[in-house]
Amino acid sequence: MIVVTGAAGFIASCLVSRLNAANFNDIVVVDNFSVAKKEGNLKGKNIKEYVDRDGFFEWLDENYEEVEFIFHLGARTDTTEFNKDVFDLLNLNYSKQVWNACCEYQIPLVYASSAATYGSGTLGYDDEEATIPLLKPLNPYGDSKNDFDKWALEQTAKPFFWAGLKFFNVYGPNEYHKGKMASVIFHAYNQIKDQGSMKLFRSHNPDYADGEQMRDFVYVKDVVEVCMFLMQHRKNSGIYNLGSGNARTFMALALNTFEAMGVEANIDFMDTPENLRDNYQYFTEANMSKLRSIGYNREFYTLEEGVKDYVQNYLAEGKYY
């Protein structure tokens, strides 16, 4: 039995599909299942049981002997939310409960951290654990993820295997419900489909031309492959970057989206909203050597490959993964 929290969400629902494809069908999904927009993410998947997140720990106390692995991917992920209490409740304290339960019941754990922990990137994007206490995220979401990473590293009691994954800019199917927090590719596709053009944020940093801001975009299919690897690997506990390892520009992303749709490129620029400018990352790129060093050797999707697959096989068809 494998538990996936946040299972109705983007990455976790893709993981459920990947687990099913590998013939893991005793999946217990944990989430707040009241959000109608997320229902399509789990439709048609092989699921043993649905557990509301508020009742999960009571359920685990009764069923821990059957649980082989926990993927804790549930979190509030809105980077524009500034109510720290929300993040303390859902991201920090809930994660501590998951960790403690995994220690008590000796269940291996993979949990979601975030590249938002790196803040402006002044300390780089190396996942060396000694630098984690020095990081300064740019928003309460990033703070909540870094606070849990720091807390986990301080614990003397740890699950016999655990890994925290610092997700970079993940894109791909099953993010239909995410609204403003969906990937730029998702928004680009819909703008191009509706208007034949799309808008990117103008640069407000003299070191970067408009559209030349860079991110490490990682396809969700790569993210779930890393999760599968760690579930089977179960050694070398620690915190790992999870990006493609290759920063690309928003312009490249946009041009690839137009090409995948067979539409001539038409790109305009708009000012970055003032409330986001001070906290805007102009460059992110995951150093992936740590994950590679423990034996992960699959090639990651290039931006060209990922955008084409996402646009043509999912967005254009309205399909889920």
Catalytic residue list? 141, 178
265 annotated as ligand-binding: no
202 annotated as ligand-binding: yes
196 annotated as ligand-binding: no
CB 106 within 8 A of CB 70: no
180 annotated as ligand-binding: yes
Other Cβ atoms less than 10 A from the Cβ of 57: the count is 15
177 annotated as ligand-binding: no
CB 256 within 8 A of CB 315: no
204 annotated as ligand-binding: yes
161 annotated as ligand-binding: no
For the purposes of burial, counting CB atoms within 10 Å of the CB of 279, is it exposed (0-12), middle (13-18) or buried (19 or more)? Answer: middle
CB 87 within 8 A of CB 144: yes
47 annotated as ligand-binding: no
187 annotated as ligand-binding: yes
Give CA–CA dist 221/168, Å, rounded: 13
179 annotated as ligand-binding: no
CB 201 within 8 A of CB 187: no
75 annotated as ligand-binding: yes
Cβ neighbours for 175, distance < 8 A, ≥ 6 positions apart: 10, 182, 183, 186
Sign of the alpha-carbon dihedral angle for 52, 57, 61, 67: positive
178 annotated as ligand-binding: yes
DSSP states along 249-310: EHHHHHHHHHHHHT----EEEEPPPHHHHTT--SB-----HHHHHTT--PPPPPHHHHHHHH
77 annotated as ligand-binding: yes
How many residues can be counted in the chain? 321
Which amino acids are annotated as binding site, given as ranges? 10-11, 31-32, 38, 53, 73-77, 145, 169-170, 178, 180, 187, 201-204, 215, 280
Which amino acids are annotated as binding site for substrate, given as ranges? 169, 180, 187, 201-204, 215, 280
Which amino acids are annotated as binding site for NADP(+), given as ranges? 10-11, 31-32, 38, 53, 73-77, 145, 170, 178
